[in-house]
Amino acid sequence: TDADYAIETSKLAKQQILAQASMAMLAQASKSKRAILELI
């Protein structure tokens, strides 16, 4: 049904957002590590 489709679509969107957020966090973490190493 349309309702099921909407639910699945929103689940997929949520997964994609979470994946992007975790990728962004990893990128920030590696930048921070590099900055800390440069300070030492």
Q: Is 29 helix (H, G, I), strand (E, B) or coil?
A: helix
The pLDDT-based confidence of 9 (bands split at 50, 70, 90) is: very high
Rg of the chain over CA atoms, in angstroms? 17
CA distance 27 to 35: 12
CA distance 6 to 11: 9
Classify the C-alpha dihedral 14-19-23-26 as positive or negative.
positive
Domain ranges of the chain: 1-40
The pLDDT-based confidence of 33 (bands split at 50, 70, 90) is: confident
Mean pLDDT for 19-27 is 94
